[in-house]
Amino acid sequence: MLKKYRYNELTEDQLAELVTRNADPSAAIQDTVLQIMSQVRAHGDQSLIDYAAQFDKVSLDKLYLDADDIDELAYTINRDQQRALEIAFHNIHKFHSYQLKRERVVETMPGVKCWREPRPIEKVGLYIPGGSAVLPSTLLMLGVPARIAGCKQIIVCSPPQASGKINGFVAYCLKLLKIERVYLVGGAQAVAAMAYGTQTIPKVDKIFGPGNQFVTKAKSLVQGMSNVSIDMPAGPSEVLVIADESANPAYVAADLLAQAEHGVDSQAVLVATSEQIIDEVNKHLLDQLAVLPRREMAKKALDSSYGVIVDNLVEGMKFSNSYAPEHLIIESDQWKPLTSQILNAGSVFLGHLTPESAGDYASGTNHTLPTSGYARSYSGVSVDSFVKKITFQHISEEGLEQIGSTVEILAELEGLHAHKNAVTIRKSK
């Protein structure tokens, strides 16, 4: 179960080592990804068909499903499942719809007006991992803000199931999003296809979505090897739970396991105000782990997880800010005073009745978040991720009179006389 450390006994080097996780993948992974990218760039669709046979064990006649195929698959799920996806879609749409706002025009001097306006990224690529797994939530988390932003072309790639199709849950989400084509491509080859384009799959401007080490490495490489950008650096999922004596240890254990079952490289960290809390949580971890279908995977994830004992919640927040978690859960009656102290976190869950799984699926917030400490400098996906902000300015005759001499002086100081003349020639009219 969770190994235990005392925060005030850690040296600076020990703390740095404790919060470091998910180092770069091996050179072998990078070499494999580079080879895949090279093949896709050189051979296009044929390489994707070959990789589907090699990695997915599927023989594809075509690389996509169209609207009729999606419609047929969407209605293979029952009405309760459809309704759950509709509620999630509604809540995600409602939360994200408030993010697209027009900024005010600022008059920096009389007659000098400056402002910014958002414009959608025209072509975006959404990578939805899973194949035989059921991962509709990721499609909603990416597709909804893309639609709200107004992206003209939304390309969706997802690995095929053994049937050569996708599952009905993803298909139903495609219908909700009014997306009429999905490409049956997974792994690093999907990232390469969207970055470079093939005979069938259009090239995009920005790629979104989580994935395994191969997908993650492919995203980092295409950002440096093409003019395509990515949503954020990403790695295995993680959670940090801060708990005090008011926390329910069964709830805490459930939250840690909800993260651990993602994969063997996931990490679940407990920061507690006493050693007794960690001991109690460990007991519940054993009990709850025993009945989980994915218990072997979760157990391996817990092997690389740990607990940290702090003297108080303020000290707990200091450790959390050093760790910069993807998901931060504060299981305490005293969560309100702590919110202003949160400096680094992807998404935050407050109080005893707010499990991280609510944000994963249906509360409305986005679950595509920075991991591996990148919450120090990156935000999670939002509508802002799908737009760029263009600056505008307009200078009137009065404004040119007000600002002209300042620009002339500064341009001359820098030895850029053509810059100066661009103002002078207008003033002399």
Task: Map out the domains of the chain as residue ranges.
Answer: 27-230, 235-379, 396-427
Architecture of domain 27-230: 3-Layer(aba) Sandwich (3.40)
327 is catalytic: yes
* pLDDT(131) > 60: no
Among 80, 42, 260, 63, which Cα is nearest to 169's? 80
- 24: confidence class by pLDDT, cuts 50, 70, 90: low
- 340: confidence class by pLDDT, cuts 50, 70, 90: very high
Instruction: State the burial class of residue 42 (Cβ atoms within 10 Å of its Cβ: 0-12, 13-18, 19+).
Output: exposed
Of the residues 238, 261, 280, 326, only one is catalytic, namely 326
**How many whole angstroms separate alpha carbon 213 and alpha carbon 204?**
21
* 241 bridge partner residues: 270, 329
Average pLDDT taken over every residue of the chain: 95
Of the residues 96, 327, 367, 408, only one is catalytic, namely 327
Mind listing the pLDDT tens digit for each residue in 261-295?
A: 998 999 999 999 999 999 999 999 999 999 999 99
Tokens of 388: 């760029």
* pLDDT(132) > 60: no
* pLDDT(115) > 90: yes
Q: Provide the sign of the torsion angle of the four alpha carbons 153, 101, 347, 248, taken in this order.
A: negative
What percent of the chain clears pLDDT 70, i.e. is strictly above it?
98
Mind listing the pLDDT tens digit for each residue in 294-332?
A: 999 999 999 999 999 999 999 999 999 999 999 999 999
* pLDDT(183) > 80: yes
Query: What is the reported pLDDT for 226?
Result: 84
What percent of the chain clears pLDDT 90, i.e. is strictly above it?
92
Query: What is the reported pLDDT for 23?
Result: 61
- Interval 34-53 mean pLDDT: 98
Fold of 235-379: Rossmann fold (3.40.50)
Mind listing the pLDDT tens digit for each residue in 184-219?
A: 999 999 999 999 999 999 999 999 999 888 999 999
Query: What is the reported pLDDT for 375?
Result: 96
Whether 27-230 and 235-379 share one fold: the answer is yes
Query: What is the reported pLDDT for 351?
Result: 98
326 is catalytic: yes
